[in-house]
Amino acid sequence: MASIEPRKGVKGRVSYRVVWYIDGKRENGRDTETCDSHTIAKRFKEPCRARWR
């Protein structure tokens, strides 16, 4: 499963981090990708979610 975490930078700018578990399993650890906009983060998240359904 993948999720989106909003992150506020030092200058007040918001970025969005997409977080997912490698191979869909917690014991394998997490991987992340940081995006500048929520729209891009949602597009990135969908293939991650679909892969482990």
C-alpha span between 48 and 5 (Å, rounded): 15
Q: What is the mean pLDDT of the chain?
A: 84
Distant-in-sequence, close-in-space partners of 29: CB < 8 Å, separation ≥ 6: 21, 22
pLDDT band at 15 (very low <50, low <70, confident <90, very high): very high
Q: Residue 25 phi/psi, 5° resolution?
A: -125, 135
Find, among 14, 15, 38, 17, the residue nearest to 2 by Cα.
17
- pTM reported for the whole predicted model: 0.76
Mean pLDDT over 18-34 rounds to 81
In this predicted structure, the answer to whether residue 18 has a pLDDT above a threshold of 60 is: yes
pLDDT value for 28? 73
